[in-house]
Chains A and B, each alone.
Chain A
Amino acid sequence: MKVKQRRAEQEPALAGTLSLDSVRVAAESVGICGLPDDAIRELAEDTTYRLRQVVQPLYGVQSLEHVPFRFTSGGGRELSFQDERDLELGELVSAQMPKAPLETTIRVHWLCIDGVQPAIPENPPPVALEHQKQESTNPASRIGKPPAASPASALPTKSGPQRAKTIETVSVKQLAQHELSVELQLYYKEITEACVGSDESRRAEALQSLSSDPGLHQMLPRLCNFIFEGVKVNVVQYNLALLIYLMRMVKALLDNQTLYLEKYLHELIPSVASCILSRQLCARPEADNHWALRDFASRLLAQICKNFNTSTNNMQTRVTRLFTGCLRGERSSLAATYGALAVIKSFVLPQVKPLGCRLERLSEQPVVSPADRLATTHLKQLFARGLTPLLKQLRSPPDVVEQYQAEYGYLGPMLCAAVSKARSQTAAPQTAGTASLGASKVAVGAAAAAAASAQAAPRLGTPQRTIIVSGSPAAAGGSGRLVVLGGPRAAAPTQDRARAKRGQKTARGGGLAVLVRDGISVTKLKMSSPVDTHLETMWLLMSFAGGRSAVIGAAYRPPDGRTTDDLEALRHQLLEAVGTGSRLYLLGDLNIDPWVENLPRPPRPWPG
C-alpha cells in the first residue's frame, strides 16, 4: 500500500485533475469508508474526464450565480461547505418587492438613407473619437493608409485605377474636407444664432444639441472660429452677457463625448483665458457680476488642461506659466489677479487627491527610503500650510472628516484637522457653543429639525445649550459634558466608517451624543428601548436654574430599515416622555424622504 501511495505522489499532477483526497472525502460523505486506493484512483480519473466533458462552454445554458463554497476546519477535519443561512420568512414576505424589470420596447430609427448614414444620436458618430484623436495627435498615421478609413468614405466614388493614381500623387499634406452640406450650413446658422440670441429656451436647446449630437466633427473649425472671433470682439466691447454665452458654448463642446477638440485648442484657450484675465469684462465693473464669468471660465480651462494635457504639448505647464506671470506682473489689474488665482485654485485642488493616493501607497510600502519619508513629511507640511487658509475660505464651516476624506483622499483627515484647528484659533474668543453649532447642523441633518432646535432655545428662555453632535466629539471642543449613548454603533465608530467607505448603505456610524453646558443638571430617562428597530434615541430630563425643566429627546434613524417600525417605536417613546409632564423637545435626524416614502413627514415637537 505504501509503495503505491508513493508512486501516486510521484505521478505528475495533470492540470486540473481531481485529487484522490477529494474522491475519498466524497465517498465518505455518502457513507463509503475505506475505499482502496486503486479504486479511488480509477474513480478520480473517470470523474476528471467527466468533469472535463461537462465543463465546456455550453451554449444556451447559463448560470448567473457562482456556487459559494466556503472552507472550514476543526476537529481534525477540513470541510468545504455551502453557506446556507436561515432565512426569516417574515422578512421575505414583508420585504419590498424587487423592482420589476423594465418592459422591452422597440425604438425605430434610420440607420441609413439611400446609402448615407444620418448623423443622429441613435447612430454612432461618423468619425470615431479614437480616430479623431489619432488624427490630431499623430497626423502621419493617415499617410500610407488607403483613404477609406471612415465608413462615409467607403462609398465607391472612384474606380480602382483612379484611386491608385491618387495614392501615388498624394503628398504629406492631408485632404481636409472643407465642404459643408446645406443642412450643416443651416444648422450652423441656427445654432450660432440661438446660442447668442435672446431666447433662453432656444439657447438651452442649442447647447443641448452641441453637447450631445454626434457628427459635429466637420463643423468644429467653424464653431471654434465663431467662439474665437466672438470673444475677441466682445471682450473689447465689455459685453458680459455674450461672453458668458460663448463660454457656455465652449462648455457644451467640451462635454460632447464624440468630439476631440485638440486641433482647435489654439483658438479655444486664448478665448477662455481672455475671459479670465481681461482687465475689464463688463461695462460697470462695480455692479455686474463678472466674477462669475471668471470663475466659470477658470473651471473650463482646468477641464481643458485635464482632458488634453499630454507630455508633448505641455499644456498645463504653459497655462500655469501664463497665469503665474500674470500674478507676478505689477501692472495687472486686481480682477485679472483674481482670475489667475481662480485658475490655479482649480488646478491645485483636484491634484490633492491623486497626490494623496501616491503618498498613501508610499507609506504603505514595507520599506521606505529615508529620502522618500522626508519628502512625504515635507509635502504634507506644505499641503497643510498652503492649503489650510484656502480651504478655510472655500469651505463652509462644518468640517467633517468624512467629507474631507471623500474629497481629498488620504490627505483629507490631515487637512480637516488643520482647517478646524485654524478655525478654532480664530474662533477662540467666541464660546464653544457657537463653534459647535455648525456641527449640530451636520448631525441633525434634516433642516426641519435644525430649525426646531433653533426655535426651541429662545422659547426655553435660556441661551441655547443643547447640542447633538455626531462623529468626532473632539471637534466640538470647549467645555461641557458629553452624554453619549452607548451602543454598538457608537462603540465602534472606526469600524463603521470603514464600512461606510466601502459603500455599504447598512451602517452609517450614527451615534448620539448630547453636549450639555455646565450648570444644567441632566438625568437620563429610561425608556423601553426599541428592540428590533434601527432607531437610536436618548431622552434627557434637564433641570434649569429656577426650577424649570424640559425633556429633550434626541433621535437618529439610519436611512435604511423600515420606516413604519421605527416611527412606531418613536411614538411609543414619545408617549412615555409626555408622561413626565415637562415640556418636550424632540430633535433628530430621521432620514425620511417624504418623496420616497409615502408617509407623513417626521414628527414635529410634541405639544407639551
Chain B
Amino acid sequence: MKTDVDGVMEAASTAAAAAAAVASGGDAKGMDKNTLVAVLQFLNKNNLQGAEQALRKETGFFDAVSAAGSGGQASSDVGTVLSVYKSEGDPDAYVSNYVSLKAFVEKSLDAYKYELGQLLFPVFVHMYLELVFNNHPADAEAFLARFGPDQEDFFQQDVQKLSHVTCPEHMQENELIQQFRSSAYTVRMCRDSHVLLKRHLSEKQHSLLLGLVQDHVVLDVFEGVPRSKQLIHLTAGALEGDPGRQVNKTKMLFGLLREPDIQLTVPVEEDDEPEGDDKPKKKKAKKDALVSKKSKNDPNAPNPSRIPLAELRDMDKREKAKSLREAMKRATLGPDSLPSMCFYTFLNAADNVSCVTLCEDSSMMAVGFSSSTVRVWSLIPQKLRAMKSADELADIDKDADDVLVRMMDERSAEQSRTLAGHSGPVHGVSFSPDRTLLLTCSEDGTIRLWSLQTWSCLVCYKGHVFPVWDVRFSPHGHYFASGGHDRTARLWATDHHQPLRIFAGHLADVDVVEFHPNSNYVASGSSDRSVRVWDVSTGSCVRVLTGHKGVVYAAAFSPDGRFLVSGGADGAVLCWDLASGHLTAALCQHTDTVCCVQFSRDGAVLASGGMDDCIKLWDFQKATEDSLAEEVGAAQPADAKVGAELALASFATKHTPVLVLHFTRRNLLLAAGPLQT
C-alpha cells in the first residue's frame, strides 16, 4: 500500500508532494531538518533575506521546502512546523478542493461511486482540522456549516463534536481529534477505483487533497470487482473507517473445546414422558447425535490447554451431566415451531433497573439497580439460602452425602436478596457458571465479586479508571472480562486483583463484552460503532467488525462458536461470520436500541429485544446457510442478507423495554424488563 502512495507521488511533481517526501524521508536527520525549516521560515517571515539565502545555500536541499513555505502563508509560528498539519494554501482552496472531490465522486460510474464516496468524510474532517489549526476560524466554521450536513447521518454526532473545536489549542486534548490523528482512517477500494482516484488527485489543482489523503487516509486496495452499494452501506459507520484487509486475516480458532468425558448416567426417569412408544426412540437417536458431535475432532477448535482452564470438579461434572440430560428434552425450534416466552416484568422500577441477567440453568435472576444495589431473585421454588455460621459449620459431618445441603441455613431462605456495596449505578451483572459467585460492575469504577453462599462481597477489583459498563464471566469460570469508559476491555481472573490482559484499541467506550463459548476469545462492542474480537491468550485484536451506525450494546456468540451477533443503538442486529470476518446478515427491523440478543440453545433461532418494547425472532439457520456452504477465506464477502426474509415473528410487550433474553436448557425463552409508567 505504501508503494501505491509512492507511485502517486512520483506522478505528481507538486511542491507539496516533494515537501512531504522530504519530511518523510531520512528519519535520522528528520528532527534536524524540521528545526532548519523553522529557522528558515522565521527568517523569511522577518524579511531577513540575506541570512535566509546564506542558510539556503549552505544546506542546499531546501528548495522544495522554500517553495512550499513561500507559497503558504505566514501565519504559522515555529511550533506548528513540527505538526502534521502544515500550513499551506489559502482557506478557499479547501472549499474548492472538497467541492471538486465531491463532484468527482458523484460523476464516477455507479460501480465506483460508493467506494470513492467513503473518502469524503475523512477528507472533510482533516480539512476542517487544518483550517482550524492554521487559524482560520471563520473559514473553518463556514466549511463545517456548508459541508457538515452532507455527511452521513451516523457521522453527524462526530461532526457535532468537531464543531466544538475552534482554535488550535483545543486540538491538543479533544479526544475525537486524538483518535483521528492516532489512527489513520481506512478506506477499502478495488484497484479500478484506486486508479481513478489517483488520476483525479494527480491533477495540478488538487495538490492539497493529495497531501491530505497521503497523510491521513489509508487506502486499502484489493484486486477484483468493486464492492456493491449495499455492502458498503452495511459495513460503513465505524469511527475508524473500514477494517484493513489484513486485520481480519488472522486465523481464529472458533471451534468448541472438546467436552470432557462424562459418564452419562442415562436418564432412567423416562417415565417423565407419558407419551407413546415412538417418542423415546426419537429422543435416543438425538442423544446419540448430540454425544457423537461432541466427541468429533474439530479442526477449528483450539487446543484445550491453549489457555489454562480450571479442572472440573465432581460437582461440575454432575452439573454438566444434568445439563446434557436437560438438553435432550429440549424443544426443537425452527420457523414452524416457535418458542414459548415467559416475561418477567419489574414493577415499581421504571428508571431504576439498569441491567438484568439470568444464570445458566435459569434458576436465579440478578438485577442491577441505578440505586447502587444488586438484587438476586430465585425463579424456582427453592429459595435463596445463606451458609451457616462457622460454629455451626464445624458441627456438620463432612462425610455425609448431603453435606452441601447441610451447610446451608434453612432458616435464612428468602425469595430475593439484596447486595449492597457499590457506590454508583450498577451497569453489569454476571453469574459464574457454577452459580456460587456473582460479578457486578458499576459507575464507581469497580468490579465486585460476591459470594452467593454467604451473600457478601468477596473481592473488589479496581483497575478501570472510569465507569465500568459491562462484566461477563467466562463460560468455564475463573476468568472474566470487563469493559468501560476508559476505552479498554480487560481480562481478569477471579484470584488476581490486577487484570491479566488489557485489550486496547477501541476509540471510544467499551459498552459490552462477551466471552466466546471456548473461552479463548472475547468480543467487545463499543461507542465507536465497531465490534472487536480479542484473543485471550495473546491479547491481540483478531477481528474488527464494522457496520453498526450507533453504539453497540449487545453481543452474543452462536452456540457453535462460528458466528457473532451484535445489536446496537441503531436498531440493527448484525450477524458476523468469524471465520472470514464478513457480515452475513443485517437484521434491521427494530425501531429503537437493541438491548439484548440471544441464541436458542440449538442455535436455530435468534432472539433480539430492545427499547422499542418488542422481541423479534429470526431464522438463524437460514441466515448462515450460505456462509457455511461457502469456502472459508473467500476474499470477497457474499452479499449480506437483509432482515425481511429472515424474520420469524415479533412480539410486542406493553410499555416494557426488553433488557435481557435467555433461553432455558429446554429452549423456553425468558425475557425481563421494567414496566415504564
The verdict on A49 contacting B166 (CB below 8 Å), with A105-B346, A110-B342, A114-B338 known, is: yes
Cβ–Cβ < 8 Å partners of A110 in chain B: 340-343
Proximity string of chain A (84-119) to chain B, C-beta cutoff 8 Å, 1 when within and 0 when not: 000000000000000001111111111111110100
Please list 27 pairs of residues, one from A and one from B, whose beta carbons are closer than 8 Å in the complex, sorted by A's number.
Answer: A49-B170, A53-B164, A60-B469, A101-B348, A102-B347, A104-B347, A105-B346, A106-B346, A106-B365, A106-B672, A107-B344, A108-B344, A110-B340, A110-B341, A110-B342, A111-B615, A111-B671, A112-B339, A112-B340, A112-B341, A112-B649, A112-B651, A115-B340, A115-B649, A151-B650, A151-B651, A154-B650
Q: Which residues of chain B are within 8 angstroms of A385 by Cβ–Cβ distance?
A: none
Measured CA separation A451–B169 after assembly (Å) = 82
Tell whether, in the assembled complex, residue B341 and residue A102 are in contact, meaning their CB atoms are under 8 Å apart: no
- Verify if B335 is at the interface (C-beta below 8 Å from A): yes
A174 to chain B, nearest CB (A): 23
Interface residues of B in 618-677 (CB under 8 A from A): 645, 647-654, 671-672
| Cα separation A527 to B406 with both chains bound (whole Å) | 74
Other-chain contact of B340, A106, A114, A122 (Cβ < 8 Å): A114
CA distance in complex: A110, B427 (Å):
27
Chain B residues near A151 (CB, 8 Å)?
A: 649-652
Cβ A107 vs Cβ B345 within 8 A: yes
Q: Are B352 and A104 in contact (CB under 8 A)?
A: yes
What is the CB-to-nearest-CB distance from B351 to chain A, in angstroms, rounded to a whole number? 9
Which residues in A have their C-beta under 8 angstroms from that of B347?
A: 102, 104-107
Closest to B354 in A: A60
The closest CB in chain A to the CB of B165 belongs to A49
Judging by beta carbons under 8 Å apart, are B349 and A104 in contact?
yes
A211 CA to B169 CA, complexed, in Å: 66
Interface string of B342-384 (1 = CB under 8 A from A): 1111111100110000000000010101000001010000000
Q: Which residue of A lies closest to B654 (CB)?
A: A124
Please state if A106 and B337 are interface contacts (CB–CB under 8 Å). no
Contacting pair B345 A155 (CB below 8 A): no
Which residue of the partner chain, among A60, A108, A111, A124, contacts B425 with CB atoms under 8 Å? A60
Nearest A residue to B335, CB-CB: A156
Cβ proximity bits B164-175 to A, threshold 8 Å, 1 near / 0 not: 111101100010
Q: Which of A7-59 contact B (CB under 8 A)?
A: 14, 45-46, 49, 52-53, 56
Q: How far is the CA of A117 from the CA of B345 in the complex (A)?
A: 16
Cβ contact within 8 Å between A105 and B343: no
CA distance A110 to B344 in the complex (A): 9
Q: Does A123 contact B (CB under 8 A)?
A: yes
Residue B467 is within 8 A (CB to CB) of chain A in the complex: yes
- Residue on B with the closest CB to A101? B348
The yes or no answer to B443 lying at the interface (CB within 8 A) is: yes
Instruction: Determine the chain A residues whose CB is within 8 A of the CB of B166 once the complex forms.
Output: 14, 45, 49
How far, in angstroms, from A101 to B346 measured CA to CA in the complex?
A: 14
Chain A: residues with CB nearer than 8 A to chain B?
14, 45-46, 49, 52-53, 56, 60-61, 101-115, 117, 122-124, 151, 154-156, 160
User: Contact between B348 and A103 (Cβ–Cβ < 8 Å)?
Assistant: yes
Chain A residues with CB below 8 A from B339, complex form: 112, 114-115
CB distance from B419 to the nearest CB of A (A): 14
List which B423-439 residues lie within 8 A (CB) of chain A. 425, 427
Alpha-carbon gap, A34 to B335, bound state (A)? 77
**A109: which B residues are within 8 A, CB to CB?**
342-343, 345
Q: Shortest 6 CB-CB distances between A and B: which pairs? A: A115-B338, A102-B348, A111-B341, A111-B343, A104-B349, A52-B164
Residues of A within 8 A of B348 (CB): 101-105
Question: Which of A45, A61, A103 is in CB contact (< 8 Å) with B167?
Answer: A45
Residues in B whose Cβ lies below 8 Å from that of A107: 344-345, 347
B367 neighbours in A (Cβ, 8 Å): 104
A46-B169 in contact given A110-B342, A112-B338, A124-B654 (Cβ < 8 Å):
yes
CA of A104 to CA of B345 in the docked complex: distance in angstroms?
Answer: 10
CB pair B340 A156 closer than 8 Å? no
| Across-interface contacts of A114 in B (CB, < 8 A) | 337-340
Q: Which A residues are CB-close (under 8 A) to B469?
A: 60
How far apart are B276's CB and chain A's nearest CB, in angstroms?
20
Q: For B467, list chain A residues within 8 Å (CB).
A: 60
**Are B344 and A106 neighbours in the complex by a CB distance under 8 Å?**
yes
Question: Are A104 and B650 closer than 8 Å at their CB atoms?
Answer: no
> Besides the contacts A101-B348, A104-B349, A115-B337, what 5 more A-B pairs have beta carbons closer than 8 Å?
A46-B169, A112-B339, A115-B338, A117-B651, A151-B650
The distance in angstroms between the C-alpha atoms of A485 and B55, with both chains bound, is: 102
Which residues of chain B are within 8 angstroms of A103 by Cβ–Cβ distance?
A: 348
Task: Kindly provide the distance from the CB of B474 to the nearest chain A CB, expressed in whole angstroms.
Answer: 26
Known: A53-B164, A60-B443, A106-B345. A113 touches B651 (CB 8 A): no
- List chain A residues, Cβ under 8 A from B369: 104
B353 cross-chain contacts in A, Cβ below 8 A: 104
Cβ of A117: which chain B residues have Cβ within 8 Å of it? Answer: 651
Q: With A117-B651, A155-B649 known to touch, is A108 a contact of B342 (CB < 8 Å)?
A: yes
* Residue of B whose beta carbon sits closest to that of A11: B138
**Which positions 120-178 of chain B face chain A at CB distance < 8 Å?**
141, 161, 164-167, 169-170, 174
Q: In the complex, A106 Cα to B469 Cα: how many Å?
A: 24
Within 8 A of A (CB), among B570-584: none
A156 to chain B, nearest CB (A): 6
A-chain residues with CB within 8 Å of residue B671 when the two chains form the complex: 111
B672 — which chain A residues lie within 8 A by C-beta?
106
B427 partner, pick from A60, A104, A156, beta carbons under 8 A: A60
Distance from B383 Cβ to chain A, minimum over Cβ atoms (Å): 14
Q: How far is the CA of A108 from the CA of B344 in the complex (A)?
A: 5
B377 CB contacts on chain A under 8 angstroms: 106
- Tell me the complex Cα distance, A90–B425, Å: 33
Q: Is the CB–CB distance between B654 and A123 below 8 Å? A: yes
Residues B652 and A124 in contact, CB atoms below 8 Å apart: yes
Inter-subunit contact B346/A49 (CB<8 Å): no
Q: Decide: B651 and A111 in contact? CB cutoff 8 A.
A: yes
A160 CA / B646 CA spacing, docked (Å): 12
User: Which residue, of B174, B346, B377, B654, has the highest number of chain A Cβ atoms within 10 A?
Assistant: B654
Complexed CA–CA distance, A102 and B352 (Å): 12
Residue of A14, A53, A61, A108 near B343 (CB, 8 A) is A108
Enumerate chain A residues within 8 angstroms of B375, measured Cβ to Cβ.
104
Which chain B residues lie closer than 8 Å to A102 at the CB level?
347-348
> In the complex, what residues of B have CB within 8 A of residue A124's CB?
652-654
The residue among B345, B369, B467 with the most chain A CB atoms within 10 A of its own CB is B345
Most buried by B among A61, A105, A106, A108: A106
Most buried by B among A14, A61, A111, A114: A111
- Which residues of chain B are near A106, meaning CB under 8 Å? 344-347, 365, 377, 672
Alpha-carbon gap, A46 to B650, bound state (A):
50
With both chains docked as a complex, state the minimum distance between the C-beta of B560 and any C-beta of chain A, in angstroms.
Answer: 24
**Residues on the A chain within 8 Å of B345, using CB:** 106-109, 122
Give the chain A neighbours of B352 by CB distance below 8 A.
Answer: 104
Which B-chain residue is minimally distant from A108 (CB atoms)?
A: B344
Q: Are B443 and A111 in contact (CB under 8 A)?
A: no
**CB of A158, distance to nearest CB on chain B (Å):** 12
Chain B's nearest CB lies how many Å from the CB of A117?
6
Beta-carbon nearest neighbor of B351 in chain A:
A62
What CA separation (Å) do A113 and B365 show in the bound complex? 22
Cα distance A160–B164 in the bound complex, in angstroms? 51
Query: What is the minimal beta-carbon distance from A47 to any residue of chain B, in angstroms?
Result: 12
Q: How far is the CA of A213 from the CA of B97 in the complex (A)?
A: 65
Contacts of B165 in A (CB 8 A): 49
- Specify which chain A residues have a CB less than 8 angstroms from the CB of B161 in the assembled complex: 56
**B647, A154: Cβ atoms under 8 Å?**
yes
